[in-house]
Amino acid sequence: MSAEFEVQGLKVTDIAQEFGTPLYLYDGDSLHDRMTALREQLHPRLEVFFSLKSNPNMAICSLLHAYGARAEVSSLAELATARAAGVAPGDIVFLGPGKSRAELAACLDQDTGGVYAIICESFGELALIDEVAAERGVVAPVALRVNPEFAVKGSGLTMGGKPRQFGIDEAQLSAATGLATRHAHVRLMGVQVYMGTRILSESAVAENTERILDLAERLAGSLGFPLEMVDIGGGLGVAYFDNESDLDLGDIAARINPLLDKFAATHPDTRLVMELGRYLTAQSGTYITRVRYVKTSMGENFAVADGGTNHHMAAVGIGSFVKRNFPIQVLNRLDEPVSGDWNITGPLCTPNDTLGKKVALPGIRPGDLIGVARSGAYGPSASPVNFLSHGHPAEVLVVDGTAHLVRDRDRPEDLLRLQRLPGKTSFGAPRAAE
Ligand SMILES: *Cc1c(COP(=O)(O)O)cnc(C)c1O
């Protein structure tokens, strides 16, 4: 018998048997360890807000919340997810460059939300927030998202110092005298800056933090509003590829805690917020597909599996023109020696459907389980799950040694349910006579 991948003592072959493939498998212990390390090592005043964008599964949000995370959301569904997961409205911020009137209303309605802060991304949005709040007879708590003049190197996707649809330019805000009192139904109360994603440099995190705290203080001072919250963004990365290495959280803490300490001492009532998506969820998840066919073509080996980039677009290679492979293993035969290079492909009718290119793996046979590790962030929700109408994969979360199905795979009827033939009210059913 070969060694096989296990999560909390549960064997991958048993899980695949019980829940079918393809599926995403999450380890609740990993989520726990991530949150615990952050809470133990980072400054006690720094609150971690989970960016649901990275993994919108309600059970993941609920577990992270149980371990101390609050929520950062960007749509009605994400807001509803955070609420269903038990996050109090006072621990939710709502952000996004294109918020609708309905989203702003939901942020302000006490029965559906009444979020802690709307993070505002434009002067036009600020006017709409004022209008929607006035209709409700409330005053909206608003933090300004700033597009800063500075840029800090070290992020996979840099945000500052460039024309962006996100936030309001620092220079425009500096010149916006009277902004704090411009709208009667808006209460400016905070500043948010997000410097980019996939940051793998401890010094970049520290430099961002220092500059953001300074910027927040300057802006609140010049515009004349009390700093109830500073959201220093986040964007901490995890290593996916050979040439990358994981962040050293102890090093980050050693660099930013003194900055936060100094700031906290002079701002005893200001909430300090860090938004994290990938850093919380990536390591907890493995995407698992079962090999259907093996074949060779012009000297190369192919393993064709039951799921591919339709569920895991990021595995195609993020932010790079050269294909770089996520960590990939044959999960049911971990201890077998490498015997050759394999292309791991999925069921789509496009050559781009390649999870792994020339990956050194043991000999693959039909029925083997292929795992793509570090896949708990930006998985199905950031993939074309409806391409070729295969639908969303199942998601399974292991908590306290028990595997829970936390999302059913889509069935064909799920994909057809919202479609209509002209003249019919629902698929297959004729419209009732008038
Ligand atoms: C995407 C995003 C996040 C989460 O980013 P990660 O890199 O997954 O941590 C947080 N804040 C904002 C504004 C974002 O756009």
Q: 23 with 288: CB under 8 angstroms?
A: yes
Q: Looking at ligand 1, which atom is closest to the CA of residue 234?
A: 9
Query: How far is Cα 73 from Cα 59, in angstroms, rounded to an integer?
Result: 15
Q: Among 276, 303, 318, give the residue marking a domain's end.
A: 276
Residues 197-230: pLDDT tens digits? 999 999 999 999 999 999 999 999 999 999 999 9
Query: How far is Cα 35 from Cα 25, in angstroms, rounded to an integer?
Result: 19
Cis omega (within 30 of 0) on the bond before 366? no
How many distinct structural domains can be found in the chain?
A: 2
Q: What does each C-alpha distance from 395 to 49, 291, 400, 414 come to in angstroms?
A: 23, 19, 17, 16
In a domain, 21, yes or no: no
Query: How far is Cα 334 from Cα 330, in angstroms, rounded to an integer?
Result: 6
**Distance (Å) from CA 322 to ligand 1 centroid:** 24
**Distance (Å) from CA 218 to ligand 1 centroid:** 24
Longest dimension (CA), the chain: 73
Give per-residue burial for 181-194: e unless 16+ CB within 10 Å, then b.
eebebbbbbbbbbb
In the DSSP assignment, the letter for residue 226 is -
Q: Among 221, 247, 276, give the residue marking a domain's end.
A: 276
Q: Does ligand 1 come within 6 angstroms of the Cβ of 192?
A: no
Question: Are 199 and 310 found together in one domain?
Answer: no
Q: Does ligand 1 come within 6 angstroms of the Cβ of 196?
A: no
In a domain, 407, yes or no: yes
In 3D, which of 284, 215, 402 has the Cα closest to residue 24? Answer: 284
**Distance (Å) from CA 384 to ligand 1 centroid:** 20
Q: Does ligand 1 come within 6 angstroms of the Cβ of 95?
A: yes
Question: Are 124 and 173 found together in one domain?
Answer: yes
Query: How far is Cα 420 from Cα 133, in angstroms, rounded to an integer?
Result: 37
Query: How far is Cα 27 from Cα 234, in angstroms, rounded to an integer?
Result: 23
In a domain, 204, yes or no: yes
Mutation choice for ligand 1 from 75, 144, 197, 200, CB with most ligand atoms inside 8 A: 197
Q: Looking at ligand 1, which atom is closest to the CA of residue 237?
A: 7
Question: Are 126 and 185 found together in one domain?
Answer: yes
In a domain, 423, yes or no: no
Q: Does ligand 1 come within 6 angstroms of the Cβ of 190?
A: no
In a domain, 295, yes or no: yes
In a domain, 36, yes or no: no
pLDDT at 152: 76
Q: Looking at ligand 1, which atom is closest to the CA of residue 196?
A: 7
**Distance (Å) from CA 416 to ligand 1 centroid:** 32
**Distance (Å) from CA 36 to ligand 1 centroid:** 20
Question: Are 165 and 312 found together in one domain?
Answer: no
**Distance (Å) from CA 72 to ligand 1 centroid:** 9
Question: Are 127 and 269 found together in one domain?
Answer: yes
Q: How many residues does the chain have?
A: 434
Question: Are 147 and 196 found together in one domain?
Answer: yes
Distance in Å from the first CA to the final CA of the chain: 66
Mutation choice for ligand 1 from 275, 318, 374, 378, CB with most ligand atoms inside 8 A: 275
Q: Does ligand 1 come within 6 angstroms of the Cβ of 71?
A: no
Q: Does ligand 1 come within 6 angstroms of the Cβ of 194?
A: yes
The distance of Cα 221 from the centroid of its chain, to the nearest Å, equals 32
Q: Which residues of the chain have pLDDT under 50?
A: 433-434
What's the CATH code of the domain at 157? 3.20.20.10
Q: Strand 70-73 relative to strand 46-51: parallel, antiparallel, unpaired?
A: parallel
pLDDT at 434: 43
Q: Looking at ligand 1, which atom is closest to the CA of residue 199?
A: 7
Q: Is the dihedral of CA 423, 425, 430, 431 positive or negative?
A: negative
**AA letter at 219:** L
- The SS3 of residue 169 is strand
pLDDT at 286: 98
In a domain, 265, yes or no: yes
In a domain, 176, yes or no: yes
The pTM for the full model equals: 0.95
Q: Among 276, 292, 322, give the residue marking a domain's end.
A: 276
Q: What is the DSSP secondary-structure string of 230-265?
A: EEEEE-B----STT-----HHHHHHHHHHHHHHHHH
Residue nearest to atom 12 of ligand 1 (CA): 194
Question: Are 366 and 256 found together in one domain?
Answer: no
Query: How far is Cα 149 from Cα 160, in angstroms, rounded to an integer?
Result: 6
Query: How far is Cα 372 from Cα 346, in angstroms, rounded to an integer?
Result: 13
In 3D, which of 20, 9, 10, 8 has the Cα closest to residue 288? Answer: 20
pLDDT at 222: 96
What's the CATH code of the domain at 377? 2.40.37.10
In the DSSP assignment, the letter for residue 322 is S
The whole domain housing 354 covers 283-416
Question: Are 308 and 247 found together in one domain?
Answer: no
**Distance (Å) from CA 302 to ligand 1 centroid:** 35
